Amino acid sequence: MSYGTVAVLAVDALRDHGAVLIALALSEAESMHLDIHCLALETTLPEAVFTGSVIPVIWSDHVIAMERAAQLEKQLQPLVAPDRRNVQFCGQQLRGRGFADNLRRILRFADWTVMTAPHHQSDDPALQTAMLEATLVAGRPPVIVVPEGCPEMPSTPNRLAVAWDGSREALAAIRGALPMLRRARLVDVVVVDPDMRHGDRSDPGGDLALFLLRHGAQVEINVLSRSRPKISDVLKCHVSNTGAEAMVMGALGHSRLREKLFGGTARDMLTDPPIPLILAR
């Protein structure tokens, strides 16, 4: 019997191929239902307001968006095996700048969300980033962000990394990812340049390791020095050297304005991520 829901957000068949495969594998491993949301963005031309043709333009754009969503569903259907009864396609139209409200409605009852990472060489990287931020803010469930062209994740990963900084957001991501962390053969708790003046224990990451051990995970701790200008560079180098198949981390820990002005480790990791990122806030 299936329980829970995985939602994958797709906007392009080629670009989101890997995200759909990972969502299929996750829903199969966890015996969960999968909703494949085929998204099409509605846009209303500003000049329509001045020509008195607002309603016809909006209606025409709505019809075009519905057709794009239907075409995307047709392109993605071959990825789903005929015997998969727990998969449903859902055509969705996102309305202009108000798409955050649409995403909140779409993801309201999802337990996991899967989507492709924004890419600077895509047609509209700003829109992709805005969709990811809206998904994190509006949806609340953990989001698996998949690099474009990423190979399918195994149902039992050999090594999952956890970027631990003691934050509420990081713990939220870890709690959300517990089913996957339990299945992994090894969970690598990565702590970069810890501040020894804070925390409940003298061993950085020790309290989290105990938490994960009590939940059935196999854990090791790696404390790394900040040998590079950005923490994200240290993390990328570490997961490349150790062969981690995904990384769990918190996102949007600072105010959204501060994130936009100064960036953040999660935002830096999303710039050409080497492996899937499991994010939450």
Domain end among 80, 113, 146: 146
Tell me, what DSSP letter sits at residue 13? T
Q: Are residues 43 and 139 in the same domain?
A: yes
Residue 124 is predicted with a pLDDT of 58
Residue 48 is predicted with a pLDDT of 46
Domain end among 146, 174, 201: 146
CATH number of the domain enclosing 175: 3.40.50.620
Q: Are residues 138 and 43 in the same domain?
A: yes
Task: Report yes or no on 155 lying in a domain.
Answer: no
Beta-carbon contacts of residue 50 (< 8 Å; ≥ 6 apart): none
Q: Are residues 116 and 175 in the same domain?
A: no
Short-list 242, 228, 222, 231, CA closest to 266: 231
Q: How many domains does the chain have?
A: 2
Q: Are residues 140 and 173 in the same domain?
A: no
Range of the domain at 171: 160-280
Residue 198 is predicted with a pLDDT of 47
For the chain, which ranges sit under pLDDT 70?
1-2, 43-60, 96-98, 119-127, 138-140, 195-201, 252-263
pTM listed for this prediction:
0.84
3-state secondary structure of 210: helix
Domain end among 90, 118, 146: 146
Residue 155 is predicted with a pLDDT of 76
Q: Are residues 138 and 175 in the same domain?
A: no
Indicate the helix (H) or strand (E) that contains 181: helix 178-183
